[in-house]
Structure 1
C-alpha cells in the first residue's frame, strides 16, 4: 500500500510516522524546501493538554469587542470584503454558547488527551530530542477578577480529569522564581500540571529524519495544483514540478491551505487562517528567565522556555492569507516578555515570525474519512496542532489502514459540517 501525504508540517510528519510503522510506503509532498516551515516553524511551543478549549465560548463576543480597543490587543479583525471570512466568523459566533462549548470542548479534549498518552511512546521509540520539558503551564492572572473567572475553567478541567493547582502569588513564584522580580504585577495563577513544552519544528525535523530511516520519501518544492478525481476516487495529486503523484490513499494535512485543494473536488471545510506572531530570543540569565510556560491571561500571550531560548507567542488576527510581518507586528509579544521577565532574555536579538493557524469555527480539528473512500483529512487544529499532532496522526493512520482508532471519531470528521 502506498499513501501520499500532502503537507510536511508536524501534522503530516506524525501521520507519516504512524503509517510507516505499519509497513506502509509513504510519500510526503510539500511546497516548502523542508519540513516544518509554515505553522510548525515558531509556534508557542506549548503542549497544552489542559488548555484544549475552543475559542468559541460563552462571553467571547463581548470580550472580543473589548479586545479590539486595547492598546496591545490580543485580537484584530480586518474588515475584508470576503464572504468566506464573514461566514466563518458567523459560524464561530453560533458556537459561543454553553451547549456548543461543552460539546466542542469534549471533542478537543478527547484528541489532546490521546495525544498526551501516545507521545511518550513515540519519544521512547525514536529517541528524538526537541528541547522538551514537563513542568506544566502557569496561567497568570493580573487581576482578582481573572482569578475568580478561572473557576469555570477549573470545573471543566475537573470534569475531564486534567490535573491543576490554584496558586496564590507566592506559590506562583515557587513555580517560576523569576516572577519574584515583578510580584506586584499579578495576583495568582492556575497551574496545569500535565502540560509540557518543546520546540515543534525541532521535533518535526527530528521525526522527519526517523521517517526517512523508515523508508518514507519526502518531496519538497512541490506546489500542489489540484487533486485529481477519476471514477469517484482520488487518482493522484497534480504538482507543478513532478506532475502527478499517485498512491492508493491520500491524506490532506495542509493546514490553512487545505481548503484550496479540497473545495474544487466538492469538500468544503470551514477552515480559516488566523494569523499569529512570535519572537524567539536567547536566554541571558537563567535565574531571571521562565522555566516552563506562562500564559499571560490579560494579553493572551504565551512565554515558553525552549532550552537556551525563550519563545513568546500570541495575538489573533483575522486578515486572510497574509504572511506579512510588519515593523510593529510583534509589539504586543515583546511588551509581555519585557514586562514579566525583563532580565531573562535579550530582546534586541529577538527573531520575529508570523504564521497562519488553521481554525475551525468550533475549535475541533477535522480528521478521518471524506466522501472519497481513499482520501482522508488531518487539518483544522487551530492553535493546538503541536498539542494534538501525535494523537491525530496516530488516529488518522489507523483510519487509513482500515483499523478502528483507539479513540472515538464521533464529531471529529467532516461529516459534522454536512448539510
Structure 2
C-alpha cells in the first residue's frame, strides 16, 4: 500500500471546535444593502473567478470574470437552489460588473448546476475554458432529486471585443467523478442531514506541478464506530476530498484519500479551496451553524486549516478553525466565502445573505411573509473582507465595498479605525474619510 493511502487522514476534531467563539479578530462588521446590486433581475450567490492554470485570476483583454449561481430575483430566496443557473459577469476595475449571461444553454448535466471552478487556457483553441461544476439532481425526473456528481464541460471559449465579453460553447459535458463508497460516501450510504459530493475546485500544486481537484464530500463510517455517542458518528462526517490527474490532463482525474475530515464535528465542509504562500498550504471552507454535531457551538463562517505541504497534517487556523464570521446580531448576513491572495493580505468575497434577521436558525425564514423574506435577503455580492495572515493566525483588518474584487497589482484603500461595540459592529473600514 502506498504511503498516501496508508496515512491517517488529518482531522478537525471536537477538541479544536470546542474553542470556537466570536472575538474582535473574526467578526465582520454589520452589512447594509448597497446602493446598487450587481443585477436587479437576479439573486446571486456562490461566486468564483475564472482563473489561469496556476491559480492566478485570468484577465481577458483587461477584464476579470466571475461566475455565480443565480436565479430570478422575483423568486422566494429559499427556492433559488432548486433552479440554480450559473452565469458569468465581467469587470475592468473589479467594482462595476456587467452581466454576461448563462454559461450553459440547456446542455449541462443534472436538473440544475451548483458551484464549481473554471480554468482558462489561453494556449487552447480560441481561449479554451475548462468548466468544473456540480451536476445536481437526475435529468429527466419530474420531482427534484439531490444526487450529486462532479462534472466537466469542455469546448467552450471566451471572447473579448471592446467593452464586451462573452463565453459560449458548444460544450461537451461529462461526469468525471462519482463517490467510491470507500473513501467517499455514496448517497445510499448517507445517514446524515445533508449528503455532499460537490464543489469541484481545480488546483495545480505550485510545489510539484501536479494537477488536482478538491471537492466537498462525506466520510463513510460504520454504525456504532468511533468516539461519538449514538448516531452522531455517522450523521456528522464531512470531509474535504481530492482527486489527482496522473498525467496532468485537466479532464482525467482519479480519487485519492481525503485531505481532511470532520467526523463527529461537522457535516458540510463547503467549497474547499487553497491559498499557497511561501510553501505553506492554507485550506479554506465555509460551513453552517446547523451542520455542527450536537455538543458543539459553531457559526455560519469561513474556516481554515494550514499544513506544510499538500498532503500534510492540517491544523486549524487560530487553534479552532474559524477565520471570519457574522456578528451575533446578524448571524446570517453573509455566506459562501472565497479567499484569494492579495500581496500582504488575503481578500474574502461572499454573498449578501439574510440581513436584519437575528433569529438563531434559517428554519424560521418561512415563518416570515413572502414580502419580508424578499426584503431581508441581500442576493448580491457582499463587501469584500480584508484579512491579515501571520503563520497560523488570521485577523480581520478591513472591508471593501460590495463586490469590490481587486487584483493583486491593484492598490487597496488606506485603513482607518472605526470604533464600535464588541458585538461585531466594531472593526476597520477601508473607505476613505472626507474629514
More strand by share: 2
Give the TM-score normalised by the residue count of structure 2: 0.23
More helix by share: 1
Give the TM-score normalised by the residue count of structure 1: 0.23
